[in-house]
Amino acid sequence: MTTLTLQQERALILEQMGQIDHLIRGQLSQQTYQVQRQGTLITQGPYYLLQRRENGKNNCQRVAAQELEAILAGVEGHRKFQQLAERYALLTERMTWDKVVPDVKKKFRRFWKPTFRKPRPS
């Protein structure tokens, strides 16, 4: 198994991002309603909603059944894009810390290495 360098892994991530063709921000949720008609409880739905934040406001839009598959693929594309972007940022930060002068590294060590608490004496 070959080990990729940080730069190669970043390039691979950018390539994967470029292959995402469908992207829709938001979350898809399913709703049902129960209505009482002539003494009988009727369940209506399911209805699907695309929910997202736009300009500081929550925006909800009902999704038609024939649009559901395309919307779902777009939402999944956005989720995948976000994961790749997070991984890219982590790799870039690691590359940055690797290039920093040792004295600066020591000062900011808590940001890039996990800290472990000392066990309490019993």
* pLDDT digits 0-9 by tens, 46-77: 999 999 999 999 999 999 989 999 999 999 99
Answer yes or no: pTM beyond 0.75: no
Pairwise CA distance, residues 32 & 99, whole Å: 55
Q: Is the peptide bond prior to 121 cis by the omega test (within 30 degrees of 0)?
A: no
Give the model confidence (pLDDT) of 71-116 as tens digits: 999 999 999 999 999 999 999 988 887 777 666 666 666 665 555 5
